Structure 1
Amino acid sequence: MQNREQDDPICLDDISLLDEDCGLGTSDGDKTYESAQVINNSLEGVVPNVGMWFQSAKEIKSFYKQHAVKCGFGVQTRISKKDDDNQLCYLKLVCSREGKYVSQIPPELKTHPAQTRQCLACLTAKQTLDINNEAGVHLNKTFRSLVGHMGGFDNLQFLERDARNYIGQQRRVFSKEGDKHALMQHFSRMRELNNSFYYEIDTDPENRIINVFWEDARSRAALVDFGDVISFDTTYLTNKYDMPFAPFIGVNHHGHSILLGCGLLLEDTSTFTWLFQCWLRCMGNRAPDGIITDQCKAMKNAIAIVFSNTRHRWCLWHIMKKVPEKLGGLTTYKTIKHALKQLVYECTSTINFELGWEQFISNFDLHHNEWLSTLYEEISRWVPCYLKSQFWAGMSTTQRTEGMNAFFDGFINSTTTLK
């Protein structure tokens, strides 16, 4: 073949699938192509290289997408050209992240300053953020007004991210006296109606409420008989203060879900520790035999501190839900998914599971998959055959909690206040 420039139209038979941005090699327009390699119907395992021939654009795309899935990147068409007869004569496939992003935001409004200077209006900025937040003004609009007022971003000492964190921190406390008073008044009234009503409130150094736990008399009575296994989940609802609603759910002798306590809290180890200690005191220092949660590390740490003798189980549904996200990019994903489900749900003994796991990892060459390796380290928390010797009240997931959440939908939402 004769030499030709890379930008000149070339026929499909001479196309090079080398992608400069994905590290698959480079293409030199002055380089003479070697004799073409004929590709048969089986393209699996073949690595793109100079001189490959294809019969159609469809075959090219299919081959390169298959290679991209194996290597873990997406594919997009960067350039395509057609000749005078409207036939495709040039095609360039590249990584989906190829190219350089050019921001449309004016330089004076960018959220990453070239240098920082001493801010002369920090207090004024905080007051503006607080006032606009109370008025419901979007944070990005408030931040842009501050930038304009100060004459450019370089005159501000903080980023938009810092402003967002500040507002989030303010929302996580009951800063409005009306809401704080309404909460205290309601709890006092409930205690007057029934002395068995239990509540605890956590405050910050400025005496503002940051965490709350409460349990009524009916739930405390149910704890005596049905508090041996509980489901705990914080994914239901985040209120106007960015504080998740955290219910404790159990199962009664009819198989019905029952509420065993509620909390409004932040999501870190110290907060979960405080909440679990409140629940333990309410229960007369009798820890549950088992607790089911998601894979939250903060929950795991707090349970180890407060419920040291309690068996901690992870929600199996949440784990299996992540399979498409973690393994979906693999070439043999469907086969892997079927084999994993069969292994998890059908193994009846720990010995068979461990042997099956080793075979599963080896068959699909998944030794370096970090997600699977992490799961294997904690198999006693989620694999059914490791947990079947203990009573779990028929629960293997936190969906009992999610079912109870449907009850609250008719009364509260993310904009509900405490008044």
Structure 2
Amino acid sequence: MEGNVKTQEFCCSKEGFRVSKVNIVDRQRAHTPVTRTGCKARVLVTTTNSNDQWVISKSYQKHNHALCTPAMTPFMHSNRVVSKADIDEATTLKEVGVGTSQVMNYLTQQAGGYHNVGFIHKDLYNALQRGKVKEIVDGNVNALIAYFDYKKHDDREFFMTYSVDESGVLYNLIWSDSTSRSDYTYFGDVIVFDTTYKYNLYGRPIMPIVGVNHHHNTIVFATAIIADETSQSFEWVLQNFLEAMMNKSPISVVTDGDRAMQRAIKSVIPYAKHILYYWHLSRNAQANIGDLKFTAVFSKYMVSWWTTEEFDIQWRSVVSEFNVQKHPLVIDKGNTRHLWAQAYLSGHFFANIRSTQRCESINASLAIALKHKKTYLDVVRAIEDGISRMRMNELKADYLSSIRSPPDHKTGRP
């Protein structure tokens, strides 16, 4: 979770009322019972500034409904837990062909009744299903690591590293082959991160790290599959990316404006100049303010070659003209104009890649290539196939360039 939570409210499970829905005569499923009664019982806790301890600041204990009887409390959702011992025993029984219902009956008899078992049939079923999913994920990860080991044997300069969480599940992953690492040596002054592409591979976003070569064609330096979009994950990616690239820091970094990414850049590569995509800025302006004229003027001001003093005057003028001085987006963009206004970016090298076309083309290819991929290994190989096609196109570009510019017969030079 990003940010620091200072206050948390705990409400009764019967708080509020169920949203009313249209009563359809031909409804196939019966309405579930109404359980919410608008109960106002709640506890408010806040954290102290001195030692970060949580204290109860408000408490209202009066319920407007009958409370659960002691005999029924074991069946409350918050009290139902399937222990690891129960899961292990149930798994053993399932492996020899015993059905889930029979397993539940057996565990209930062992515990001396339903009120002692600690969970219901649905809880046991869900726990066994989670175990199956983890087994599949672990198997996929093992296959992926074996594939990367093969790649390292074939490509001595192949780089791959990953991290796992406290339960041993794959967390973050980054890889780069020898060609990509060599490309970074020559063309790694400007790198581009795009965190907008989401691919539902166990909920993991895929993040290509790209740049441009001497033909201004997009090249991929590395690819990461991350657990989440927090500063911690982005810092992990940047730190290991630098390790893969012999600690050569880029001169400039172009991103989509993700705040967690901005914090990671400041932490890991503080001397790199950071700027934002044009396209994301224009899209956000239109989505939040909804005025095409303002968006057009805003887009024009982003690329105008003014001095910083001229830009500030023009910016105040247009903000006043459209009466958006108090709009949160306008306030934010005004405070961060050093990240997007050309007036504040003069003299910095960005290899002419301030638009998102570099990453969008890759994202479009990813969306197609990964549409039916179900495992980590399938995804990695699809990404590698896409990178291979990009390199083939680059070879074609080199060949066509040599045809258009034949060498001089006297000097032998193009």
Q: TM-score range by the shorter chain?
A: 0.5 to 0.7
Question: How many Å apart are 1:286 and its aligned residue?
Answer: 1.3
Q: What's the secondary structure of 1:122's corresponding residue?
A: coil
2: CA distance, partners of 1:108 / 1:242? 33
2:299 is aligned, of 329, 338, 341, to: 341
Work out which of the two has the higher radius of gyration on C-alpha atoms and give 1 or 2: 1
2: CA distance, partners of 1:260 / 1:122? 46
Do residues 215 (structure 1) and 176 (structure 2) align?
Answer: yes
Q: What's the secondary structure of 2:376's corresponding residue?
A: coil
2: CA distance, partners of 1:272 / 1:351? 35
Amino acid corresponding to residue 151 of structure 2 in structure 1: M
Change (3 A) 1:384 1:347: same
- Conservation of the 8 A alpha-carbon contact between 2:212 and 2:351: yes
Question: How many Å apart are 1:347 and its aligned residue?
Answer: 4.6
- Conservation of the 8 A alpha-carbon contact between 2:304 and 2:342: no
Question: How many Å apart are 1:156 and its aligned residue?
Answer: 9.6
Which aligned pairs between 1:6-405 and structure 2 lie closer than 5 A? 102-103=20-21, 106-108=32-34, 118-119=76-77, 120-123=79-82, 176-265=137-226, 266-328=228-290, 333-405=291-363
2: CA distance, partners of 1:124 / 1:232? 42
Higher relative contact order, structure no. (Cα contacts within 8 Å, ≥ 6 residues apart): 1
Question: How many Å apart are 1:335 and its aligned residue?
Answer: 4.0
Question: How many Å apart are 1:369 and its aligned residue?
Answer: 1.2
Q: Deviations over 1:263-319 (max 9, x none)?
A: 100211111100100001111111100111112111011111101101111111101
Amino acid corresponding to residue 144 of structure 2 in structure 1: L
Q: What's the secondary structure of 1:286's corresponding residue?
A: coil
Q: What's the secondary structure of 2:270's corresponding residue?
A: coil
Question: How many Å apart are 1:410 and its aligned residue?
Answer: 5.0
Give the ranges of 4+ consecutive aligned residues of structure 1 lying more than 6 Å apart after TM superposition.
Answer: 112-116, 124-127
- Conservation of the 8 A alpha-carbon contact between 1:232 and 1:398: no
Change (3 A) 1:348 1:124: same
Q: Deviations over 1:152-176 (max 9, x none)?
A: xxx999xxxxx9xx98xx98x8862
- Conservation of the 8 A alpha-carbon contact between 2:138 and 2:169: no
2: CA distance, partners of 1:272 / 1:121? 36
Q: Deviations over 1:22-57 (max 9, x none)?
A: xxxxxxxxxxxxxxxxxxxxxxxxxxxxxxxxxxxx
Change (3 A) 1:283 1:338: closer
Question: How many Å apart are 1:232 and its aligned residue?
Answer: 0.8
1: CA distance, partners of 2:327 / 2:350? 31
- Conservation of the 8 A alpha-carbon contact between 1:240 and 1:414: no
Change (3 A) 1:409 1:102: closer
Amino acid corresponding to residue 244 of structure 2 in structure 1: C
- Conservation of the 8 A alpha-carbon contact between 2:338 and 2:345: yes
Q: TM-score, normalised by structure 1?
A: 0.60
Change (3 A) 1:174 1:194: farther
Q: What's the secondary structure of 1:274's corresponding residue?
A: helix
Q: What's the secondary structure of 2:246's corresponding residue?
A: coil
Change (3 A) 1:184 1:341: closer
Q: What's the secondary structure of 1:279's corresponding residue?
A: helix
- Conservation of the 8 A alpha-carbon contact between 1:249 and 1:259: yes
Equivalenced residues, count? 281
Q: Deviations over 1:101-152 (max 9, x none)?
A: 6246634577x9988954453328997xxx9xxxxxxxxxxxxxxxxxxxxx
- Conservation of the 8 A alpha-carbon contact between 2:164 and 2:170: yes
Question: How many Å apart are 1:415 and its aligned residue?
Answer: 4.1
- Conservation of the 8 A alpha-carbon contact between 1:174 and 1:241: no
Structure 1 unpaired stretches of 5+: 1-99, 132-154, 158-162
Q: Deviations over 1:59-107 (max 9, x none)?
A: xxxxxxxxxxxxxxxxxxxxxxxxxxxxxxxxxxxxxxxxx96246634
Larger helix percent = 2
- Conservation of the 8 A alpha-carbon contact between 1:292 and 1:314: yes
Question: How many Å apart are 1:233 and its aligned residue?
Answer: 1.0
Q: Deviations over 1:234-290 (max 9, x none)?
A: 322413211011111010011111010001002111111001000011111111001
CA RMSD of aligned residues (A): 3.5
1: CA distance, partners of 2:224 / 2:295? 37
- Conservation of the 8 A alpha-carbon contact between 2:191 and 2:253: yes
Identity of aligned residues (%): 24
Q: What's the secondary structure of 1:322's corresponding residue?
A: helix
Q: What's the secondary structure of 2:369's corresponding residue?
A: coil
Change (3 A) 1:365 1:407: closer
Q: What's the secondary structure of 2:274's corresponding residue?
A: strand
Question: How many Å apart are 1:340 and its aligned residue?
Answer: 2.8
- Conservation of the 8 A alpha-carbon contact between 1:239 and 1:415: no
Q: What's the secondary structure of 1:281's corresponding residue?
A: helix
Change (3 A) 1:175 1:210: farther
Q: What's the secondary structure of 2:144's corresponding residue?
A: helix
Q: What's the secondary structure of 1:343's corresponding residue?
A: helix
